[in-house]
Amino acid sequence: MSGLALLIPIALFLGLAGLAAFFWAMRDGQFDDMDGAGMRILIEEEEK
Amino acid sequence: MTAHATIDPGEALLRTVLAVPGAHCAGCIAKIEQGLADVPGVVAARLNITSKQLSVTHAPSLTIPGLIETVGRLGFEAQPLSEAAAGGKDSESRKLLRATGVAGFAAMNIMLLSVSVWSGAEGGTRDLFHLLSGLIAIPTVAYSGQPFFRSAWSALKRGRTNMDVPIAIGVLLVTALSLFEALTGGPHAYFDGAVMLLFFLLVGRSLDSVMRDRARDGVSSLIKQQAAGALVIGDDGRSQWLRSEQLLPGMCMKVAVGERIAADGMVEAGASSADLSLLTGESAPQRIGKGDPVHAGTLNLDAPLTVRVTAAAEDSSLAEIARLMGEAGQGRSRYVRIADRAARLYAPAVHTLAALSFVTWLLLGAGWHQSLLIAAAVLIITCPCALGLAVPAAQIVAAGSLMRAGVLVKDGSALERLAEADRALFDKTGTLTLGRPELGNLEAIPENVRPVALALAQASRHPLASALRRSLELRGTESVTLDHITETAGTGVSARYRGMKVALGKIPDLAADSMATALSIEDCAPVVLRFTDRLRPGTAVAIGQLRKLGIESSIATGDRAASVATATKGLGLTAQTSMTPADKLDLIARLQSQGHRVLMVGDGLNDGPALAAGHVSMAPASASDVGQNAADAVFLGDSLLPVAKAIVAARRTMRVVRQNFVIAIGYNVVAVPLAFMGLVTPLVAALAMSGSSIIVVANALRLRNAAR
């Protein structure tokens, strides 16, 4: 039983962290351009 | 171009969204973004390749036409997006995705707790796990269930029922009962079932909404906004670019060649010809001169015009068409989607069953608590989890396939209606035909003169010159350098080539024929070039395929009988000609009252009301914005074949949707008796629910190549 007191909060915390990351990614616009994200890695940044 | 603007830190920055339909690769992103970053005054530029929209943050001194020109110099055509298309980004999809995320999180954690209960947790541990599940489930149901509760409530208020009514009742009842169980230390709590149900259903909802967004972005980047504004000359002689909604009666607009007139008005100066095909469907251009009235949406062909605005955008001739469209669209909003039709039968059946099981067990002396539990199990097992996924999963897979084949379907309801069509009406100009002049007699130009002809054609923006340029470039002709190029409005282009006088334009013999021009070299006899509005490629095949599908086609056009007959001979279609927008509406109403489901295919402003009135409608990508907005689906490219392809794919989709219904109901036939007998534990409910959902989604994936 004492293990549960530790493990359940950990499980919940990890789940909530995942949920928060998902919300952040969505607000940050990471799902706005699904095709473009894959293409952008091919772009060579110009020296400024 | 006002590219010399610098950024003043105190200045408020503007954000402009442009559609760049031509961008498609990493190179395009790099070229446009880096090209714009070098322009003084531009703070940031980001190209969204999925929606083909370029968002530029810039100093107010940069204008929209200036930005378009800059992007044009980078090699891409850009168009301003209307406010409506650019805004509303934080849409329903976002809310649904967020709700799905929450439900997914909750479902995972509750499942974690449930698994330990199923594998034998007892006594205090079980009660604790049930309580914890409840603590996670109740806020989740309150948040993620909102889309269903809202929709169910609004249906109930109007005395109707839809798919969301049994969902909402089921979820709420099961959550409440499980809470009671958890508090009283009962053996079974169904929190996992309720939350998993919400999660699966929200996935379906999100898919549906993502599909609509994707098609909407696709369509809005196609929409041409040529008449989004006009160059207005003020009393002090200064010119200023105004959006069309800012135009007021009495203002003076400069309309360049190749521009669409932004508001109704009267020609003050200049003589030109006007292409009214989008407004009336008439293919031959009309001459206009000083004192003639012109309508918004008219394309100016020959010479620059000065037009005095007589009516503001809201009360122009377009407004009349908009009014007709508003009335016509009401019929379609009465269409009931297949899922809701199914729910009308399904919901009462489910509720009767649940009530029946409650009463039966009560009569058998099981006590109200156990009876209620069994009734809840019946509700949750019959909750249309697979039914909720059956339709959107199939539709989004089919719509994706159609999108790759060049048809943008705006929403799932459009696919359903497309499958039902049994009669097709085609507009002529711009729909059956390409809606742009094509050179009819290229062989008349001698081989050695073609480079000169191309050079002359390149010097003008007149539609006939563009048509000549296109057909010469297609055959790989290379142009030469000309001297002293002059373009005389209304007459044509002339220049000198190696000392010879060369010209492309009107000659007196052709004054009356607006679809012909002449190429003259020095004193040789001029070569007369004739242009026609050709049929779209694949038209005959597409009409034939429609006939095989049991769809009879005919033509409904605003053009005159003579030009319809020449343009469409050989198709074997009957035609009704010289129709006004209201006539087309009447025709559709008549056909629909005979029990036909009409597919309207059209492109012009004049087709707008008919497109809105048809049971379902399609428009080519070259259509007016009104046409594209009113249509349920837009097809890309010149060919008419996608129309037939879309019907085939839509019918296949409906077959899969029906199979999915059979699967979902078949699972109920097995599961409901078990639930009725009180044998369904939360474990069985969870397994049955996910199993049937996975089968339904897998079946939908078979539509991946529906549009091949």
Q: What is the mean pLDDT of residues B644-666?
A: 90
Which DSSP string do the residues of B409-441 spell out, in sequence order? E--HHHHHHHHH--EEEE-IIIIIB-SS-EES-
Comparing CA positions, the residue from B71, B67, B49, B99 lying closest to residue B3 is: B67
Q: Is A15 on the interface with B (CB under 8 A)?
A: yes
CATH 3.40.1110.10 residue ranges for chain B: 438-532
Reply yes or no on whether the pLDDT at B1 is more than 50.
no
Q: What is the mean pLDDT of residues B131-147?
A: 93
Comparing CA positions, the residue from B60, B72, B6 lying closest to residue B35 is: B72
Which of B15, B28, B29 is the best residue to mutate to test the A interface, defined by the most A CB atoms within 10 Å of its own CB? B29
How deeply is B22 buried, as exposed, middle or buried, from its count of CB atoms within 10 A (0-12, 13-18, 19+)? middle
Closest Cα in chain B to A8? B113
Reply yes or no on whether the pLDDT at A14 is more than 80.
yes
Q: What is the token pair recorded at B403?
A: 């999108």
Q: Is A10 on the interface with B (CB under 8 A)?
A: no
Which of A6, A43, A48 is the best residue to mutate to test the B interface, defined by the most B CB atoms within 10 Å of its own CB? A43
Helix/strand/coil for B590:
helix
Q: Which residues pair with B426 in a beta bridge?
A: B555, B601
Comparing CA positions, the residue from B284, B278, B258 lying closest to residue B531 is: B284
What is the tens place of the pLDDT at every residue in B510-521?
A: 666 667 788 888
Q: What is the token pair recorded at B337?
A: 């989607």
> What per-residue confidence (pLDDT) applies to A48?
46
> How confident is residue B467, by pLDDT bands cut at 50, 70 and 90?
confident
Instruction: Report, at the CATH architecture level, how domain B438-532 is classified.
Output: 3-Layer(aba) Sandwich (3.40)
Q: Mean pLDDT of all residues in chain B?
A: 82
Q: Which tops the pLDDT comparison, B540 or B508?
A: B540
CB contact under 8 A, B50 and A32: yes
Q: Select B1-80's CATH number: 3.90.25.10, 3.30.70.100, 3.30.43.10, 3.30.590.20.
A: 3.30.70.100
Topology (CATH) of B407-434+536-636:
Rossmann fold (3.40.50)
> What per-residue confidence (pLDDT) applies to B489?
67
- Residue B228's identity, in one-letter code, is A
How deeply is B576 buried, as exposed, middle or buried, from its count of CB atoms within 10 A (0-12, 13-18, 19+)? middle
CB contact under 8 A, B125 and A4: yes
> What per-residue confidence (pLDDT) applies to B140?
94
* Opening angle at CA B22, ends B539 and B393, nearest 5: 70
d(CA B465, CA B527): 14
Number of Cβ within a 10 Å radius of residue B221: 23
Q: Is B8 a catalytic residue?
A: no
State the maximum Cα–Cα separation within chain B, in Å, rounded to a whole number.
Answer: 111
CATH number of B225-329: 2.70.150.10
Reply yes or no on whether the pLDDT at B128 is more than 60.
yes
- Residue B268's identity, in one-letter code, is E
> What per-residue confidence (pLDDT) applies to B52?
78
The predicted model scores a pTM of: 0.76
CA distance B43 to chain A (A): 15
Q: Where are the domains of chain A?
A: 2-40
Q: Which tops the pLDDT comparison, A45 or B67?
A: B67
> What per-residue confidence (pLDDT) applies to B2?
40
Number of Cβ within a 10 Å radius of residue B636: 17
> What per-residue confidence (pLDDT) applies to B104?
92
What is the tens place of the pLDDT at every residue in B559-585?
A: 878 777 777 777 888 888 888 888 888
CA distance B136 to chain A (A): 9
> What per-residue confidence (pLDDT) applies to B410?
83
Q: What is the mean pLDDT of residues B435-443?
A: 80
Determine which helix (DSSP H) or strand (DSSP E) holds B243, and give its type and residue range: strand B239-243
Q: What is the token pair recorded at B53?
A: 């929209």
CA distance A10 to chain B (A): 11
Q: What is the mean pLDDT of residues A30-44?
A: 79
> How confident is residue B226, by pLDDT bands cut at 50, 70 and 90?
very low
What is the tens place of the pLDDT at every residue in B261-309?
A: 878 888 888 888 887 776 776 767 777 888 888 887 788 877 788 888 8
Q: What is the mean pLDDT of residues B697-702?
A: 89
> What per-residue confidence (pLDDT) applies to B3?
41
Contact predicate B282/B604, CB 8 Å = no
Reply yes or no on whether the pLDDT at B494 is more than 60.
yes
Contact predicate B255/B249, CB 8 Å = no
CA distance B333 to chain A (A): 30
Task: Pick B50's closest partner by Cβ from A19, A26, A34.
Answer: A34
> What per-residue confidence (pLDDT) applies to B4?
46
Interface A:B, Cβ pairs < 8 A? 53
Q: Is the ipTM of this complex over 0.90?
A: no
Which residue of the set B264, B427, B559, B603 is catalytic?
B427
Which of B50, B111, B135 is the best residue to mutate to test the A interface, defined by the most A CB atoms within 10 Å of its own CB? B50
Chain centroid, CA B402 distance in Å: 12
d(CA B586, CA B408): 28
